[in-house]
Amino acid sequence: MAATIKDVARRAKVSVASVSRLVNGTGNVRPKSAERIRRAIEELGFRPNAVGRSLKMASTRAIGVVVPSISNPVFADALAGINEEIRAAGYNLMLTVTDYDAANEASAVGALMGHQVDGLILTVADPDDCASLDMLERAGVPYVLVYNQPGGKSRATISVDNVAAGGEVARTLAAFGHRSLGMISGSFEASDRARARQAGFVDETVASGLHAPVICEVDFIDGDIEQVIAGLYRSDGKTPTALFCSNDLLAISVIGALRRCNLKVPEDVSVIGFDGISAGTHLSPTLTTVVQPSREMGRLAASQLLGHLNGQEAPHTTLLPHHLRLGESAGQAPQPVPADLQDNSQPVQKRNLAR
Amino acid sequence: MAATIKDVARRAKVSVASVSRLVNGTGNVRPKSAERIRRAIEELGFRPNAVGRSLKMASTRAIGVVVPSISNPVFADALAGINEEIRAAGYNLMLTVTDYDAANEASAVGALMGHQVDGLILTVADPDDCASLDMLERAGVPYVLVYNQPGGKSRATISVDNVAAGGEVARTLAAFGHRSLGMISGSFEASDRARARQAGFVDETVASGLHAPVICEVDFIDGDIEQVIAGLYRSDGKTPTALFCSNDLLAISVIGALRRCNLKVPEDVSVIGFDGISAGTHLSPTLTTVVQPSREMGRLAASQLLGHLNGQEAPHTTLLPHHLRLGESAGQAPQPVPADLQDNSQPVQKRNLAR
DNA sequence: CTGAAAGCGCTAACAG
DNA sequence: CTGTTAGCGCTTTCAG
């Protein structure tokens, strides 16, 4: 059906070589022939077959992208950035969504390699223990991670400093006067980011003179979250007055669950998320969160990868700045302890946290 | 670098044909040879080059997807559905985001055709006047639209009935006692959906005995929206007590703008969106909206396309059911007119709307 | 400036 | 069962 370069050549009464030269602007062709070729192309509606070209050139001009989810705006935004950069450079995008499943991760990378993508951009569950990544390395296929923050192995990555950010959250909450913190996180196994944020959060909580925070790992099912929250606040003991959620989507669910448990945010419980998805600013209370520059991260990942494909320096680890966006969902700790007890607090350490 | 089928054949001391047969499960090979081939594959880390295969088979087992945006959850959700279906069938996904730009639309389709995708799934600005679509048709490349609802031309589509849905919104609002309706819409030029929703909304508004609604077309810039809202409600005349927004993202922005204009939702103004993005249920007030089954739409589009590629019936137009999700953002019209005036209302028609 | 020809990696007759 | 071979559509020497 579709016309080939051969058809064009025949119709223009030249060799396929000339057509190729004209089409690709490589080498010159006599103006007279050029005109005939152009007409033939026009008449035949010829469009070069990228598969044939790829086979010959050993380059598909396609780059693969592997992300855990696309319904999470964080990944959607990064993808938008990637798309922008990639397309501007004339590359195409092969996308796979893994749904946080490691098996999908592996098969996706395999499929993409089979399709001979020129490079990959991906977010994996665990960059420190990822067979797919090792495979890419062995095969010499360039890649750069986004959001992932490898601990041991040195791998090209674009992310924020999750540990530091988690720490800032702890300090902020402490400065608000909260004495009992908690963290609600999605699967640690499926997210090195969550682990890093937790590590920073716990460390700084303790460093701030508070006791270690309660950590709840939840499945991403609304019912589950509600149960966890209910369980947490049913106990009459020392329950957290502030909750750090490992990502914004989770924070939003947690706020909903809290509300259904008749707990007011932020009056009774403060909530801080992570990511800075735009939906957070439209909620009420508006979401306090750690903002990462998702779109920019995607753009940067793409441009580093493309740069490398064009012979520039290899992609390297880049930590982009994050920042805390103060919304209404986090505020002063409720109910300062009765005056007589208050004297027992530790003013020195308190001053520290307020930094 | 990467091993080819030839390398495997050499190493296993068989012909490339045998390797191909074993790898693809087409034809038999002597168990003895099979074993040698398998070892060779293992040792060489051989992975069939899909480009070579595609060239020979005239099929890339890739399908192209073209959407206006990926940051809008509607498209992200549909894409999730497409991804699911596509991957289960062993296909790959080539994605392009057009950013609502018709020029990008055309070049994306061109690039995808060049890459020889086996079929396309797309949402375009105007399915009734779309050069890309005509080009696909001419080239005989199968495609199915999502969200688009072509008026004239017959094109395979998965969507909801936007006209009917727009009408329902009008009737619902009328039944709530609103007498003055308005619609805020994104670019009509970039969205046939918006046009269809508007058509249904206007028709039913009038059919309900109300005067034609105010229509405001806005750019998708927060500042712009705020200005439009402010302008609309500055006039002391008969301003709408209910606003239908052509999509949820817009509705969320409108609610924000309304709030900044000191208008309460829904006490002063009711707002209804369209799409049913999950963020809407987490807002407060929760968003009233027309829910479309986005993920299912994506899934269905993909399965129809794949079915067609496998020789089943051609994709056809499918209207999936939508439904109104009543949230808190829309309610009874404010301030029933003073009693003496109320008698002037038209009870008969009112009864009609309440149906 | 131009054409002939080789070959990218793979599949599928076809002949043994 | 197995190997040989002819392309799929394209780019690119290499001669002319």
Instruction: Tell whether the model's pLDDT for residue B342 goes beyond 50.
Output: no
CB contacts under 8 A, B 217-276 vs A, are 252-253, 255-256
Residues B100 and B112 in one domain: yes
Model pLDDT, residue A351: 31
Residues A66 and A175 in one domain: no
- Domain contains A219: yes
User: By CA distance, what is B91's nearest residue in A?
Assistant: A111
Using the beta-carbon criterion (under 8 Å), do A92 and B110 form an inter-chain contact? no
Cβ neighbours, 10 Å, residue A195: 21
A39-55 mean pLDDT: 97
Model pLDDT, residue B225: 86
Instruction: Tell whether the model's pLDDT for residue A23 goes beyond 80.
Output: yes
Residues B183 and B224 in one domain: yes
In the sheet with B270-275, reading across from the earlier edge strand, the strands are B214-217, B181-185, B242-245, B270-275, B288-291, B323-325
Question: d(Cα A53, Cα A43) in Å, to the nearest integer?
Answer: 22
Model pLDDT, residue A354: 33
pLDDT band at B236 (very low <50, low <70, confident <90, very high): low
- Domain contains A145: yes
B17-28 mean pLDDT: 95
- Domain contains A226: yes
Least confident of A143-152, A293-302, B59-68, B338-347: B338-347
Question: d(Cα B202, Cα B214) in Å, to the nearest integer?
Answer: 9
Instruction: Answer for the pair A320, A292: CB distance below 8 angstroms, yes or no.
Output: yes
Q: What is the pLDDT of residues B258-268, one digit of tens each?
A: 988 899 999 99
Residues A182 and A329 in one domain: yes
CATH of the domain at B122: 3.40.50.2300
Residues A101 and A185 in one domain: no
Instruction: Find the domain containing A304 and state its range.
Output: 62-155+294-319
Instruction: Tell whether the model's pLDDT for residue B345 goes beyond 50.
Output: no
Tokens encoding A224: 């589950």
Residues A188 and A329 in one domain: yes
Burial classification of residue A138, based on how many CB atoms lie within 10 Å of its CB (0-12 exposed, 13-18 middle, 19 or more buried) = exposed
Model pLDDT, residue A342: 45
CA of B10 to C1' of D4 (A): 15
Q: Residue B334, CB, less than 7 Å from strand C? A: no
Q: What is the pLDDT of residues A236-286, one digit of tens each?
A: 667 899 999 999 999 999 998 999 899 999 999 999 999 999 999 988 899
pLDDT band at B55 (very low <50, low <70, confident <90, very high): very high
Residues A205 and A265 in one domain: yes
Model pLDDT, residue A302: 98
Question: d(Cα B201, Cα B166) in Å, to the nearest integer?
Answer: 4
Going by C-alpha positions, the residue among B139, B143, B147 that lies closest to residue B100 is B147
Name every residue whose Cβ is closer than 8 Å to that of residue A209 and which is 6 or more positions away in sequence.
Answer: A174, A346, A349, A350, A352, A353
Q: Residue B28, CB, less than 7 Å from strand D? A: yes
Q: What is the DSSP letter of A119?
A: E
Instruction: Answer for the pair A19, A61: CB distance below 8 angstroms, yes or no.
Output: no
pLDDT band at B185 (very low <50, low <70, confident <90, very high): very high
pTM as predicted:
0.91
Model pLDDT, residue A349: 35
Q: What is the pLDDT of residues B121-177, one digit of tens each?
A: 999 999 999 999 999 999 999 999 999 999 888 899 999 999 999 999 999 999 999
pLDDT band at B355 (very low <50, low <70, confident <90, very high): very low
Q: Residue A2, CB, less than 7 Å from strand C? A: no
Average pLDDT, chain A: 91
Of all residues in chain B, the percent with pLDDT exceeding 90 is 81
Residues A96 and A43 in one domain: no
For CA atoms B65, B67, B69, B73, the dihedral sign is negative
Model pLDDT, residue A35: 95
Nearest to A70 among B47, B76, B115 (CB): B76
Q: What is the pLDDT of residues A75-87, one digit of tens each?
A: 999 999 999 999 9
A342-350 mean pLDDT: 39
Instruction: Tell whether the model's pLDDT for residue A108 goes beyond 90.
Output: yes
Q: Which residues of B are less than 8 Å from A83 in CB distance? A: 70, 95-97
- Domain contains B340: no
A158-183 mean pLDDT: 97
Least confident of A131-135, B136-140, B278-282, B287-291: B278-282
Q: Which nucleotides of D are covered by protein (CB under 7 A)?
A: 1-5, 7-13
Using the beta-carbon criterion (under 8 Å), do A93 and B92 form an inter-chain contact? no
Question: d(Cα A335, Cα B105) in Å, to the nearest integer?
Answer: 57
Residues A239 and A174 in one domain: yes
User: By CA distance, what is B70's nearest residue in A?
Assistant: A76
- Domain contains A301: yes
A213-242 mean pLDDT: 84
Name every residue whose Cβ is closer than 8 Å to that of residue A164 and which is 6 or more positions away in sequence.
Answer: A200
CATH of the domain at B16: 1.10.260.40
Using the beta-carbon criterion (under 8 Å), do B83 and A62 form an inter-chain contact? no
Nearest to B47 among A2, A50, A113 (CB): A113
Strands, E assignment, chain A? 62-67, 92-97, 119-122, 143-146, 157-160, 181-185, 214-217, 242-245, 270-275, 288-291, 318-320, 323-325
How many independent structural domains does chain B possess?
3
Span between the terminal Cα atoms of chain B, in Å: 71
Helix, coil or strand: residue A62: strand
CA separation, residue B131 to residues A39, B138, B155 (Å): 20, 10, 13
Model pLDDT, residue B343: 43
Instruction: Tell whether the model's pLDDT for residue B304 goes beyond 60.
Output: yes
Residues A268 and A188 in one domain: yes
Least confident of A128-137, A172-181, A187-196, A332-341: A332-341
- Domain contains A100: yes
The whole-angstrom distance between A298's CA and the closest CA on chain B is: 13
Q: Could you check whether the bond before residue B293 is cis, i.e. omega within 30 degrees of 0?
A: no
Q: What is the pLDDT of residues A295-336, one digit of tens each?
A: 999 999 999 999 999 988 888 899 999 999 999 999 998 865
pLDDT band at B344 (very low <50, low <70, confident <90, very high): very low
Residue B37 C-beta-side C-alpha neighbours within 13 Å? 24
Residues A33 and A175 in one domain: no
Question: d(Cα B329, Cα B288) in Å, to the nearest integer?
Answer: 6
Using the beta-carbon criterion (under 8 Å), do A114 and B252 form an inter-chain contact? no
Tokens encoding B108: 């994306």
Q: Residue A44, CB, less than 7 Å from strand D? A: no
The distance of Cα A199 from the centroid of its chain, to the nearest Å, equals: 19
Model pLDDT, residue B224: 82
- Domain contains B49: yes
CB contacts under 8 A, A 35-64 vs B, are 45, 47-52, 54-55, 60, 62
> H/E/C letters for each residue in chain B?
CCCCHHHHHHHHCCCHHHHHHHHHCCCCCCHHHHHHHHHHHHHHCCCCCHHHHHHHHCCCCEEEEEECCCCCHHHHHHHHHHHHHHHHCCCEEEEEECCCCHHHHHHHHHHHHHCCCCEEEECCCCCCCCHHHHHHHHHCCCEEEECCCCCCCCCCEEECCHHHHHHHHHHHHHHCCCCCEEEEECCCCCCHHHHHHHHHHHHHHHHCCCCCCEEEECCCCHHHHHHHHHHHHHCCCCCCCEEEECCHHHHHHHHHHHHHCCCCCCCCCEEEEEECCCHHHHCCCCCEEEECCHHHHHHHHHHHHHHHHCCCCCCCCEECCCEEECCCCCCCCCCCCCHHHHCCCCHHHHHHHCC
pLDDT band at A233 (very low <50, low <70, confident <90, very high): confident
Q: Residue A349, CB, less than 7 Å from strand D? A: no
Q: Residue A26, CB, less than 7 Å from strand D? A: yes
- Domain contains A340: no
Helix, coil or strand: residue A195: helix
Of all residues in chain A, the percent with pLDDT exceeding 90 is 81
Residues A103 and A15 in one domain: no
